[in-house]
Structures are given as structure tokens and as C-alpha cells.
Structure 1
């Protein structure tokens, strides 16, 4: 199965030499599932046109420094692409900004949260278990880095992950072919730490220090990657 990575942003320039391009993180994550995926990439944030979802086997919409409320020329075409993919039931995953733009395009409300920065490893309660998550435990600990949040999910979405900080952290959609997560299962711990350190001066020092300390908590990113792999293979 080929996954088309819709790139909406990339690793920040100061970290790119060390950690590589963003697409490689997703490819490494998907390779770890053993599902034998192959990959293509469309850099919509660099001006590449969105493809026809009918021609795609699976879609992955990445994170970005952009917000859904920004005035950027590629956002409306991306919204139209998401709605088209949803209608055609092309399997689609959104992560962080991808999670937010999917919710925005499908009728939800996304804003910069008054709660501020979410950094480091957060723990999310599993509220619902779709078939591909049938074996999920009561909670999952996954890295995050965001200020924006899905405030109100689309009517088509069901919340599957939640926390006090991020109530709508995971969404499964009623067409059976769309899934999104606010946290980043593709992030390795060293990259999560480097991102948190980059937020010094933007996020409060105590939020950064808490984020750095949180990495001592065991990660469930591998389990989440497995669920995502099963989601795509089950389509």
C-alpha cells in the first residue's frame, strides 16, 4: 500500500541537519509497523497542487507551523482536498496540524488554545476503541508540540483520545476511512526534547522543564503507530 504524505511543514531549519526532513520521521514510523508501506510526498506548503484522492491509496497529512486560521494560499485547496478524500473514502490520517485542518475542513472549530503550549509527553485517556484499536490500554503516552487545538470536533467525528489539556486529542470519523491525532507518534524522544528546548522564550520555563522531565515516562508511540498501520491496512 502506498501512503501519500501531504507535507504542510517541515522540521525547523535549526534542527533539520540533525533530524532530517519530516517525511523521514513518518516513513520510519510506518516502517516500524512491518506493514510494508511505500511512500510518495506532495509538498503542498511549497506550492505543489493537491492530487486527486481517487488516485491515492492512503493519505497522511503532516504537522506544520501554520495555523488553520492563517492567510496562506494552499489552505483552501487543502480543505477542498480533505473534503473530496472524505467523500471518496480514501483512507486519511492527520497528525497535529493535519488533525486540526481535517477538523476545520469537515466542520469543526480550531483555535489557538488559551491553555498555551502543549509540550513533551502527554498522557491521553482512550475513550473509544475502533476496530484497529481494540487492544488499546486505558491510556496512551505520546509526544506533542502545539498551541492550537480542535475546540469543537466535526459532527462526523468521535473522540477516541482525550486529556484535560487536550479534550479532543484523537478523532475517528464516521465514514470509517478518516483518523486524526493531535500528538505526534512519529517523534523520537531526542527530537521531542530538541523541540521543547526550542520553545524557550516562547513557552514559560516551567512548561519547558515539565516537558523535558516528561520524557522519562515510557512512550506508547510504537503502539499508536501499530494502530495506525492497522487502520490503513484495514481499509
Structure 2
């Protein structure tokens, strides 16, 4: 298990994250026990995977923007097939980013918010007034959150698919970095030969294939848990 320190959050906050607990537990119950919320290791890994992917895609967005700026500033046109590949890469990256943001929004608001607010409401209204009741309510809340996050009693635990999605996304990002470096080198030498254009096209194709594999992994995750 992983223990997170308590952060005081007023009841007016619209969304109380899973790793915080209201100070009212101590105030209402006056119980001398450590106010820590236990998060299971799988949950932590799942959150880290989602937000890590968002960070990767943000980095990919920045690099793709640099690539687009480079072509415009250098007045170098892509051949038609490569231009189509570039647009496809941008669209796929955007679609993946939107899907992951939707998933992270679900995790933080739907999966966590509802059961957590129900628990704090029980404490505020004194329906939970003893140490034993608090522990029972706390345990039930954690179980509900885990189930809502596809982490408990679910036959299609998404970790393997998410790992594959991350690997493919990292592969796409690496290819974008390589493409960006290729363009920066060319801007110093002003060499835009047919061979250079072929290398750019090949690199774009690799980016597109890596993102295509990411889409396949995304579909497996979505099909398994949504």
C-alpha cells in the first residue's frame, strides 16, 4: 500500500481527490488515529499511467508544432503523400489526447468524486460517529472507488493494454524527436535533396505506424473497460 499525507480541504471544494481527506473526520470524531487514506498500488500505477500518457502526448504536440513551423518558415513543401501522413499524425495524436483527457476526467470526477462525497456527507451529518463506523465506511468507499476505476473484481484489468499503449506512444514520440532533429540539421546545411525528402517521408511513416499501434492499444483498453 501507499500512504499519502493528509491535506486539509474545505467542504466547499467541488472535487475532493482520492488522496485527501477532510479535516472534519478529526474534528467530528476527536479520534487520536493517523488521518491517512490508503491507496492500493494498482490504483496509483493506473493514475500514473494515464497522466504519464497525457504528458507524452503533450510533448508530441510540441514537437509536431515545431515540425509544422519549420516547414512553413523554411518554405519547404512536402510531397503530397507525406503531407497526408503529417496531417494524419496530427489528427491521431489529437484524438488520443482527447480520449485520455476524457478518461482522466472520469477518474478524477466520476469514479472518485461521488463515493468520496457520500462518505464525507455521512461524517458531516453524524451518521458516522464512531471509530469502528468510520473504518467500515472508509473501507467501503475505497472498494467502490476501486470498482469504478476498473481496478477491483474486473476480468479485464487494463494495465497490460495501457502498458502497450504507453510503449507505442513512446515509440511515436521518439520518431517525432528524430524527425525534428533531421529538420534542424537540414536547416543548417540547407540540403533538401530527393534523398533527404525520402528520409523525411520514411520518418513520417514510422510516426504514423507507431500512432496507429497506439490507436489499436487504445481500442483494446476502451473495449475492455468502458
**Which structure would you say has the larger RCO, counting Cα contacts within 8 Å and 6 or more residues apart?**
2
The structure richer in helix per residue is: 2
TM superposition score normalised by structure 1: 0.25
Structure with the largest fraction of strand? 1
Q: Bigger radius of gyration, 1 or 2?
A: 2
